[in-house]
Structure 1
Amino acid sequence: MASTNDIRNGVVLNLDGQLWSVVEFQHVKPGKGGAFVRTKIKNVTSGKVVDKTFNAGAKVDFANVDRREMQYLYTDGDGYVFMDTSDYDQVTVSSEVVGDAANYMLENQNVTIALHDGTPLYVELPASVVLEVTYTEPGLQGDRSTGGTKPATVETGYQIQVPLFLETGTKVKVDTRTGDYLGRVN
């Protein structure tokens, strides 16, 4: 057990038997009354985000979450197979846990996997990844970067919106949080 003074972004709390990750926190000391900690927490399994307020100094239960660097190897019939880069153990993670991260993962790419008592909770990707455009409609003469956008399929099979001037075979940087096009990569 720890106190609310130890709450930081990214820590995982065990509340009523469920795991919640702290997205935002703020220590508040009003002019009147006692201090408190206002948090925005996200349910690790369902992804639901709620606001929760704790009294300052109250005891909270921190969950023991182990974040490990792992390499994505391949997709199995029922999940995704990752290899721990430190001891070469292989772990199969279900497609429900991987979620939208599958849209940005390439084979042999390193990701961070959060484990609680040996059970994978979620997959953490870098903020952006470089992917190759495998198909997009050809650009027309006069298409400029200030123009509109068009759909493009990247090498993972995911479809993103790119500027009109991009062609098939171009490597692009994609934001893994929003799926937005960030720019070309040479």
Structure 2
Amino acid sequence: MATTNDLKNGMVLRLDGQLWQVMWFQHHKPGKGGAVVRTKLRSVESGKTVDKTFNADVRVEVAVVDKRTMQYLYNDGTSYVFMDTGTYEQLEIDPETVGAAKNFLLEQQEAIIATNEGRVLYLEMPASVELEITYTEPGVVGDSATGRTKPATLETGHEIQVPLFINQGERVKVDTRDSSYLGRVKG
């Protein structure tokens, strides 16, 4: 147990039987009355975000979340299989838990797996990944001056928007949070 004065970003709380991750918090002392702690919480289960205000010094239950770096091995059709590189223990994760991270997963790639009481909560990808473009329309000389984009398919099968001058076979850096193109990878 901790108090609302001990809150930190990233901490996971158990409120009303559900797990909530603290995304943001602020201690606030109004002119009248007692101090409060304003928070923005994200549900670990559904991803829903809510604003919640607590009185200062209220006791909250902190959930123990174990984060381990694991290596992605393969998708067997029903689940994604990861391996702990230290113990060689394998863990199967359902597609709903993997979510949008599947768009950026390549075999042998590492990701952080968060668990609570043996149950997988979520998968943390790096902020950006480097992937190869497997298909896109060819670039045309002079296309680099405009800010227009075209669709391109990554080696994972995911489609993103890239500038017109990007060609098939090039490696690009992609933001895993919003699938945006970040730049070419110098080879």
TM-score range, shorter chain: over 0.9
Q: Match for residue 122 of structure 1?
A: 122
Q: Match for residue 3 of structure 2?
A: 3
Identity across aligned pairs (percent)? Answer: 63
Q: Separation in 2 of the partners of 1:114 and 1:72?
A: 14
Q: Match for residue 88 of structure 1?
A: 88
Q: Separation in 2 of the partners of 1:58 and 1:146?
A: 55
Amino acid at match of 2:104: Y
- Aligned pairs for 1:97-116 (under 5 A) are 97-116=97-116
Q: Match for residue 74 of structure 1?
A: 74
Amino acid at match of 2:83: M
Q: Match for residue 180 of structure 2?
A: 180
SS of 1:20's partner is: strand
Deviations 1:79-128 (A, max 9, x none): 10000122110000000000000001111011001001111000000110
Q: Separation in 2 of the partners of 1:53 and 1:25?
A: 9
SS of 1:61's partner is: strand
- Contact 1:4–1:59 (CA<8 Å) still a contact in 2? yes
TM-score by length of 1: 0.98
SS of 2:97's partner is: helix
Q: Match for residue 162 of structure 1?
A: 162
- Unaligned residue ranges in structure 1 (runs of 5+): none
- Contact 1:4–1:54 (CA<8 Å) still a contact in 2? yes
Amino acid at match of 2:67: R
Deviations 1:49-69 (A, max 9, x none): 111111110000111110111
SS of 2:143's partner is: coil
- Contact 1:145–1:165 (CA<8 Å) still a contact in 2? no
Amino acid at match of 1:104: F
SS of 1:105's partner is: coil
| Residues matched between the structures, number | 186
Cα–Cα, structure 1 residues 145 and 113, in superposed 2: closer, same or farther, change >3 Å?
Answer: farther
Cα–Cα, structure 1 residues 141 and 116, in superposed 2: closer, same or farther, change >3 Å?
Answer: same
- Aligned pairs for 1:33-52 (under 5 A) are 33-52=33-52
The 10-residue stretch of structure 1 (25-34 or 67-76) with the greater mean CA deviation from structure 2: 25-34
Q: Separation in 2 of the partners of 1:146 and 1:7?
A: 46
The answer on 1:144 being equivalent to 2:144 is: yes
- Contact 1:71–1:110 (CA<8 Å) still a contact in 2? yes
Amino acid at match of 2:45: T
TM-score by length of 2: 0.97
Q: Once the 2 structures are TM-superposed, how far is the Cα of residue 146 of structure 1 from its aligned partner?
A: 3.4
Aligned CA RMSD, in angstroms, stands at 0.9
Deviations 1:124-174 (A, max 9, x none): 001100000000001122211533000000000000000000000000000
Q: Match for residue 15 of structure 2?
A: 15
- Contact 1:114–1:121 (CA<8 Å) still a contact in 2? yes
